Structure 1
């Protein structure tokens, strides 16, 4: 191994990549705005969730059609997942990308545009779900397709901002956090396209698509961003370097290999094709590799 390679590996193992002592003010403001709006949607979503919980014990509570359990429950889950969890993870991820790249966030204006698209999709989703306009009992994808397009556009914009920031990095290597963060930004639009196209959406096909969407929304979006943030935050908090940059990257690529194909394990011994269920079992076992590599 050359001295240059050793120097690069030494740099990559430093906590937080020896990020600059002060953050770019524009990056901090953008992150703050994302976190503030995430908190707003958390409060709204939790309030609606409380209404849904009360209705399980007191069905006559707030006896209005637009506040019936069948409407407030999906409104609650979508606001918490895409309003609170997604927005706070995106905002912090943009901060992490900037810090680990030792570069200011590329185009905070575009990041703000994406934030307003997020809010537009979330507000539209809240109104339509409470009005009874939805795609039926399809967990986490009850929104009608125009709202899904708006949300996917927001994710693409955020992903492009993150990519351009990483491309302008001051270091030769891509820090392990940014592999996970960029992976999440790439996969969610793909997930939306494959889950909303009007093909194979009836009968058993809808069950297959639902398992794929529901499972990968967790593993290829929330988990990816959370791991990216964790690979920055934990070494920074402990004041110690990442144990192994190579293991982190191995975890990323093997997670990308195994995770997308295991959604069918939610429907074992169902009428789904047995080869699909067998593939889900096999790749679920394969998930031991990224789990062990990442932990």
Structure 2
């Protein structure tokens, strides 16, 4: 009996190790690049805070206006740091709970690089004064479809892992992960359509922006 338990434990350790190895590169990339975005967002936040107390601070740089810096700070924090930290946790935790190795780590890593490039492009456009001006959706309209494509390429494999898991117990945390995976594209697509595609009344845009802000906070 003891020998059987020892063999089962050894197999479990091997399985968990193989799952961790299969996602090592994308998970480490998400946290490493997310940490860099966190540092950048903190710097931008400090500049924005300084300009609140001293409007003349760094006025020689037009791209460091208070409105631009504050919008870039929040965008870098949410889509540079917060989203990537969530990606790293979700894809690893879903693989562990589903007890399945990830066979698409290369695709996830490629999509992660593109995600960072798109976020960088969006932040630069904001600081050039070409942002949308919509709270927490300051990126220009053309950025959002690219983010959604990257999001799909990153997260679809977690849904696949859940689908092909061995029959048996499903953890409550997996249901929360699934809900979160479907939540973001739903609110992002809805807000993008009403804000950027439909020529609606400014009050409607403000209402949709407030709804997006609240639901995004609820997601995190």
Fold shared, TM-score > 0.5 on shorter chain? yes
User: Could you tell me whether the CA contact under 8 Å between 1:51 and 1:72 is conserved in 2?
Assistant: yes
Structure 1 CA distance for aligned equivalents of residues 104 and 169 of structure 2: 22
Following superposition, the deviation at residue 21 of structure 1 comes to: 4.6
Q: What is the correspondence of 1:84-103 to structure 2 with a 5 Å cutoff? A: 84-103=81-100
Q: Map 1:59-208 onto structure 2 (within 5 A).
A: 59-63=55-59, 64-136=61-133, 138-197=134-193, 198-199=197-198, 201-208=200-207
Q: Kindly state the Cα deviation for residue 173 of structure 1 after the two structures are TM-superposed.
A: 3.7
- CA distance in 2 between counterparts of 1:105 and 1:152 reads 21
Q: Which residue of 2 aligns with 1:25?
A: 21
Q: Distance in 1 between matches of 2:58 and 2:108?
A: 39
TM normalised by structure 1 equals 0.65
In structure 2, list runs of 5 or more residues that go unmatched: 1-11
Indicate if the aligned counterparts of 1:159 and 1:185 stay in contact, CA closer than 8 A.
yes
Aligned with 2:82: secondary structure?
helix
**Contact persistence 1:106–1:164 (CA under 8 A):** no
| 8 Å contact from structure 1 (residues 101, 166) kept in 2 | yes
Distance change in 2, residues 1:218/1:201 (3 Å): farther
C-alpha separation in 1, matches of 2:170 and 2:108: 21
Deviations 1:104-133 (A, max 9, x none): 124101211221221022101110000000
**Structure 1 vs Structure 2 CA RMSD:** 1.7
1:134 deviation in Å? Answer: 1.3
Q: 1 CA distance for matches of 2:102 and 2:199?
A: 40
| 1:66-96 deviation digits (Å, cap 9, x = unpaired) | 0010100000001111111110111111110
1:179 CA displacement: 1.4
- Structure 2 distance, partners of 1:21, 1:212, is 40
Aligned length, in residue pairs: 203
Q: Shift of residue 41 of structure 1? A: 0.5
Q: 5+ residue gaps in structure 1?
A: 1-17, 223-295
